[in-house]
Amino acid sequence: MSRSLHDRTLALAGLCQAAALVQQIAHQGTCEERSLETCIRSLFATNPATTLDVYDGELSDVHDGLKVLSTVLAQQSRAQDAEILRYVLNLIHLESKLKKNPEMLKVIGSRIEQARHTASHFGYSHSNLMANLASIYGDTLSTFRLRIQVTGNPQILQRNENADKVRALLLAGIRSAVLWRQSGGHRWQLIFARKKVITHARALLR
């Protein structure tokens, strides 16, 4: 996997896209379908030739993530931006815990592979697949001491279909966090290389 600024920016965009969708569902109960499908598809991209191939090979599929990335890293003043950034940082931290647990990684990989049939049969936004992926997240990553606290409308989050989507998207966020690390990403870059990432994300949006 290439370790360029371009690849790190794309992976961070995927991470931001998943985090922003979690926020949308938690507060509104709905989200942009195509962006959701891109995030969920990324879980099944196990042998990509390039970073962009993880997101279906099209820049347009991570457009929302690039937009969020360029605003959240630049501003961080609005409450909604701070919330998305919190999810992103928590997912990066959670992924760092996961990489030290090869047994759990193996379980997640195996169960995602089993879910591939559900995805090909029903599609990438079907409730059956969401429930399947949510159970993977619930049985593995949510057992760590650090648990991502999703804030939003309690009535919305109590609905099973919304809770499943949120957990499935958090799993997709972990996929992008893995990709970001593989492309040379480090937490300090979010502080010291922030301007470079924002500039590149905006260039890709154009």
Contact 70/201 with Cβ under 8 angstroms? yes
Contact 201/13 with Cβ under 8 angstroms? yes
- Mean pLDDT, to the nearest integer, of 149-168? 97
- Please check the confidence at residue 144 and state whether its pLDDT lies above 70: yes
Where residue 49 falls among pLDDT bands split at 50, 70, 90? very high
- Mean pLDDT, to the nearest integer, of 45-57? 93
Find where tokens 């965009």 sit: 13
Where residue 148 falls among pLDDT bands split at 50, 70, 90? very high
Judged by DSSP in three states, 25 sits in helix
- Please check the confidence at residue 2 and state whether its pLDDT lies above 80: no
Alpha carbon distance 159, 155 (integer Å): 7
Contact 31/19 with Cβ under 8 angstroms? no
Length of the chain: 206
Mean pLDDT of the chain: 94
Cα 37–Cα 138–Cα 119 angle in degrees, nearest 5: 30
- Mean pLDDT, to the nearest integer, of 75-102? 91
Find where tokens 């279909």 sit: 161
pLDDT for 189: 86
- The predicted-structure confidence for 90-143, as pLDDT tens digits, reads as follows 999 999 999 999 999 999 999 999 999 999 999 999 999 999 999 999 999 999
Contact 105/99 with Cβ under 8 angstroms? yes
Find where tokens 């030739």 sit: 49
- Please check the confidence at residue 62 and state whether its pLDDT lies above 90: yes
- The predicted-structure confidence for 3-15, as pLDDT tens digits, reads as follows 899 999 999 999 9
Where residue 89 falls among pLDDT bands split at 50, 70, 90? very high
Cα 204–Cα 13–Cα 150 angle in degrees, nearest 5: 150
In order of their start, the domains of the chain are: 5-205 (1.10.3890.10)
Tokens of 142: 């949510």
pLDDT for 79: 83
pLDDT for 1: 58
Alpha carbon distance 169, 205 (integer Å): 23
Question: Within its chain, how far is the Cα of 119 from the centroid?
Answer: 18
pLDDT for 24: 97
pLDDT for 187: 87
